[in-house]
Amino acid sequence: LVLLDIMMPEMDGFEVARRMREHPNSENTPVIFVTAMTSDDARMKGLDLGAVDFITKPINPEALKHRVRNFMRYVQLRKNLQADYDGMVEVAQLREHVEHIARHDIKGPLAGVLGLLQGLIDEDSVEPRQLEQLKLAEETTLQVLNMINLSSELFKIETECFQLRAAPVAIGDLLRRIATIDRSSFSGKNLTISVDTDVPVGEEMPRVLGDAMLCYSLFQNLLKNACEAAPDGSKVSIRLFDDSPLRIVIENQGVVPLAIRKNFFDKFVTSGKPGGTGLGTYSAKLLTQAQGGSIALNVSDITNTTTVT
């Protein structure tokens, strides 16, 4: 702590304080001005230079000692708080490092299991009852991978550490798989979930360059959101348009509440969903943009529909 007079020969206290703030060893050192100057201008100039107090002469030495002692106690409390915060940051970074390793180690075997399951599902010799069980196992595996993706990849995207390793993705097959899963998940609502395309029958479906698991996470979140919002017995449609760029449109009956339309894709934005986290559409936006795409919401109060493109 520096007790600093203002009116001094050659260099005044204001200049001393200014130079202290420019020096790395003293830029955070607290300064208390002790001076006979009492004008508001002098006081404001001192505060602008970062003074923590401004004491006018004549001074009472005992009172000044108490003020200094109390302020130094405050400085020590701040140091203790900073040390506690630094410790918390270190622990959080260590935990994130361990979780990153665990997520990475879990994703490999799960992806292998998923590949085996999808291979068995495509076999012609599988009986209907076995096929149903295999699809249930596939759904569970995809849900676990989805949760891992949302926790690990979103963190990388948010911290600008994500690197896309793009590969061709059979997007039509992926959308149909997600639709099949959600027909089962939302069977109690009697929804009609359709997947359509403008690609002529017999022609090869287009592929997209991206990450298959990120695509799964993104469209599963969007379709789940649409199914949750759709009234019982209504239709949810997924349409794939072979344009440049390729477009995927998800539409459901029911409109997004007016209060959240402008920030529909923001973090923690949710409405009318008990236990909703508000991360589904936010993660869909990040996962879309991370793969070089864009996402948009359109709400029609006239037709009572919500569309995500």
Q: How confident is the model at residue 78 (pLDDT cuts 50, 70, 90)?
A: confident
Judge if the upstream peptide bond of residue 58 is cis by omega within 30 degrees of 0.
Answer: yes
Residue 143 pLDDT > 90: no
Mean of pLDDT values over 233-261: 93
- What radius of gyration do the chain's Cα atoms show? 31
Separation between Cα atoms, residue 244 and residue 236, nearest integer Å? 24
In this predicted structure, which of 40-44, 125-129, 247-251 has the lowest mean pLDDT?
A: 40-44
In this predicted structure, which of 47-56, 61-70, 143-152 has the lowest mean pLDDT?
A: 143-152
pLDDT of 278 reads 65
pLDDT of 249 reads 97
Separation between Cα atoms, residue 210 and residue 166, nearest integer Å? 4
Separation between Cα atoms, residue 281 and residue 225, nearest integer Å? 8
Residue 149 pLDDT > 80: no
Q: The tokens of 202 are what?
A: 């017999």
pLDDT of 276 reads 59
Residue 275 pLDDT > 60: no
What is the model's pTM?
0.59
Q: How confident is the model at residue 103 (pLDDT cuts 50, 70, 90)?
A: low
Separation between Cα atoms, residue 1 and residue 78, nearest integer Å? 14
Separation between Cα atoms, residue 28 and residue 42, nearest integer Å? 21
Higher-pLDDT residue of 75 and 151 is 75
Mean of pLDDT values over 272-301: 84
pLDDT of 233 reads 95
Mean of pLDDT values over 279-286: 86
pLDDT of 100 reads 67
Separation between Cα atoms, residue 108 and residue 101, nearest integer Å? 11
Residue 124 pLDDT > 80: yes
Mean of pLDDT values over 207-211: 92
Higher-pLDDT residue of 157 and 297 is 297
Residue 152 in contact with residue 103, Cβ under 8 Å? yes
> If phi over 0 gives left and psi between -120 and 50 gives alpha, with beta otherwise, what is residue 237?
beta
Q: What is the mean pLDDT of the chain?
A: 86
